[in-house]
Amino acid sequence: MGVDLAITLGGARLANPIVTASGCFGSGKEMSRFVDLRSLGAVVCKTVTPEPRLGISPPRGAETASGMLNAIGLQNPGVAAFREGDLVWLAERNVPAIASVGGHSVADYVRCIEALRGAAGLVAIELNLSCPNLEDRGFMFALSAERTAEVTAAARAASDVPVFCKLSPDVTDIVAIAEAATGAGADGLSLINTTLGMAIDPLTFRAKLSTGTGGLSGPAIKPIAVRCIWQVHRALPHVPIIGMGGIAGVEDAVEMILAGATAVAVGTANFYDPTATETIARALADFCEAHGIASLDEIRGQVKIEG
């Protein structure tokens, strides 16, 4: 039986649903030693900002039970260098790219998007909304439906490719935030970003990150991610979702598709297994073949809840 893993994501046709999670794969150059990038649906690049950023002082990362904490501070070379370097490199290899953009104001997001207009190989923009909004007392855009809508509307007006909003799970009603994003013009959603966590060394009494708190990722957050995807897909069934958060193997990917994800992004797993993305992409084809699934449309959102 032939298996068709191809998906349509915001208008772009991708060979399969396995993509990389922003911040966990760079832009693919280093990882191309371990993975055939053309075996993936797309590479979601590390977040870029209008100007270069050095990030925060170390320590920036810490292992936790079934996951890791990080606080990088959006270190990046700036959007101009990204377009002239990494995006060109990916386009020359015919690898679909999704650019992640961030900033401290709505204008910052717009500047990034305008700088990326017309870039070869760029199939979508992902808005990293877990950035502090300096125009609103430093609150993250993703924690407010109003601010999410504001930045999304501006981004959608500036972009010549589909716009996906990456949302935080640290809210009381993620469906309300998702509805605000799509109502303002978002073509799709990325669920979920890391959840805020903290770890302390009991011997030194010191926080394990220089910032105290940081983003928790890895298998520990997968049930939260699956829940968020399911809730949003149930409310907005026609909105494409890139699911992420704790994917370590093919069954994790299938779980998110059953919850409603169109595509699945692999993140933390890349740090301990640089072949994880390609391995999962190949395993997904085998899984579908073994279970008589001809297309992922047959199982997307088809979770069974009894009781």
pLDDT at 134 over 80: no
Question: pLDDT at position 176, please?
Answer: 99
Q: Could you give the angle at the alpha carbon of 239 between the alpha carbons of 262 and 143, nearest 5°? A: 105
Query: What confidence category does residue 144 fall into, taking pLDDT thresholds of 50, 70 and 90?
Result: very high
Greatest Cα-to-Cα distance within the chain, rounded to the nearest angstrom: 58
Question: pLDDT at position 131, please?
Answer: 73
Q: Is the peptide bond before 59 cis (omega within 30 degrees of 0)?
A: yes
DSSP code string of the chain: ---B--EEETTEEESSSEEEPTTSSTTSTGGGGTS-GGGSSBEEPPPB-SS-B--PPSP-EEEETTEEEE-----B--HHHHIIIIIHHHHHTT--EEEEE--SSHHHHHHHHHHHTT-TTEEEEEEE--SEEGGGTTEEGGG-HHHHHHHHHHHHHH-SS-EEEEPPS-SS-HHHHHHHHHHTT-SEEEE---EEEE-B-TTT--BSSTTSEEEEESGGGHHHHHHHHHHHHHH-TTS-EEEESS--SHHHHHHHHHHT-SEEEE-THHHH-TTHHHHHHHHHHHHHHHTT-SBGGGTTT------
- The mean pLDDT of 272-292, rounded to a whole number, is 98
Q: What are the tens digits of pLDDT across the range 48-94?
A: 999 999 999 999 999 999 999 999 999 999 999 999 999 999 999 99
Percent of the chain with pLDDT over 70: 97
pLDDT at 118 over 70: yes
Across the chain, what does the average pLDDT equal? 96
Q: Which of 131, 165, 228, 288 is catalytic?
A: 131
Query: What confidence category does residue 135 fall into, taking pLDDT thresholds of 50, 70 and 90?
Result: low
CA–CA separation, 41 and 20 (whole Å): 9
State the pTM of this model.
0.97
Percent of the chain with pLDDT over 90: 94
Domains of the chain: 7-298 (3.20.20.70)
Query: What confidence category does residue 132 fall into, taking pLDDT thresholds of 50, 70 and 90?
Result: low
pLDDT at 288 over 60: yes
Is residue 112 part of the annotated active site? The answer reads: no
Q: What are the tens digits of pLDDT across the range 35-49?
A: 999 999 999 999 999
Q: What are the tens digits of pLDDT across the range 187-240?
A: 999 999 999 999 999 999 999 999 999 999 999 999 999 999 999 999 999 999
Question: pLDDT at position 133, please?
Answer: 57
Question: pLDDT at position 307, please?
Answer: 73
- The mean pLDDT of 4-14, rounded to a whole number, is 94
